[in-house]
Structure 1
Amino acid sequence: MYPAVVSMTQPLKEVLIRCTQKHVLMRNCSTGSIGLSTFETLAIKIPKPFVYNVELNRPEKLNAMSNTMWLEIRKCFEELSMHPECRAIVLSAAGKIFCAGIDLNDMSSMGAEIGEQDDIARRCKVLDNKIRTYQESISSLEKCHKPVIGAIHSACVGGAVDLITAADIRYCSKDAWFQVKEVDIGMAADVGTLQRLPRVVGSASLARELAFTARKMQAAEAVQCGFVTRVFDDKESLLSGAIEVAADIASKSPVAVQGTKLNMVYSADRTIQEGLDHIRFRNMAMLQSEDFMEAVMAQATKTGPPKFSKL
Structure 2
Amino acid sequence: MADTYESLTVDVDEHVARVTLTGPGKGNAMGPEFWAELPTAFAALDADPDVRAIVLTGSGRNFSYGLDLTSMGGTLAPVLAEGALARPRAEFHRDLKKMQGAITAVADCRTPVIASVHGWCIGGGVDLISAVDIRYASADAKFSVREIKLAMVADVGSLARLPLILNDGHLRELALTGKDIDAARAEKIGLVNDVFGDAEASLAAAHQTAREIAANPPLVVQGVKDVLDEQRTAQVAASLRYVAAWNSAFLPSKDLTEGITAMFAKRPPEFTGE
Match of 1:173 among 116, 138, 159: 138
Where do 5+ consecutive residues of structure 2 fail to align?
236-274
Match of 2:94 among 129, 154, 162: 129
Identity %: 37
Where does residue 246 of structure 2 map in the other structure? Answer: none
**Residue matched to 1:72:** 37
Q: Deviations over 1:193-244 (max 9, x none)?
A: 011112101x111101100100011111111111111111001111111001
Task: Describe the SS at the equivalent of 1:106.
Answer: coil
Could you say which residue in structure 2 is the equivalent of 1:221? 185
Name the CA shift for 1:227/1:111 in 2 (closer, same or farther; >3 Å).
closer
Of the three residues 43, 46, 51, the one matched with 1:81 is: 46
User: Is the radius of gyration larger for structure 1 or structure 2?
Assistant: 1
Distance 2:91 2:215 in 1: 45
**Of residues 210, 218, 243 in structure 2, which corresponds to 1:246?**
210
- Match of 2:153, as an amino acid? A
Label 1:131 to 1:57 Cα distance change in 2 as closer, same or farther (>3 A). Answer: same
Alpha-carbon distance in 2 for matches of 1:58, 1:187: 22
Alignment partner, residue 62 of structure 2: 97
Q: How does 1:181-200 map to 2 (within 5 A)?
A: 181-200=146-165
1:217 is paired with a residue whose SS is strand
How many correspondences in the alignment?
235
Q: Which runs of 5+ in 1 are unaligned?
A: 5-28, 32-37, 272-311
Alignment of 1:154-303 (within 5 A): 154-201=119-166, 203-268=167-232
Residue 10 of structure 2 corresponds to: 44
Per the alignment, do residues 115 and 228 of structure 1 end up closer, same or farther by CA in structure 2, a change over 3 Å counting? closer
How far has the Cα of 1:106 moved from its partner? 2.5
Relative to structure 1, is the Cα distance of residues 145 and 155 closer, same or farther in structure 2, using a 3 angstrom cutoff?
same
TM-score under structure 2 length normalisation? 0.81
The alignment's TM-score, normalised by the length of structure 1, stands at 0.72
* CA deviation vs aligned residue, 1:130-168 (integer Å, no higher than 9, x gap): 110110111111100100001000100000000000000
CA–CA distance in structure 2, aligned partners of residues 204 and 68 of structure 1: 33
Mapped to 2, the partners of 1:268 and 1:119 lie a distance apart of: 35
Alignment partners' CA distance in 1, 2:218 and 2:82: 49
Are 2:7 and 2:24, in contact at CA under 8 Å, matched by a contact in 1? no
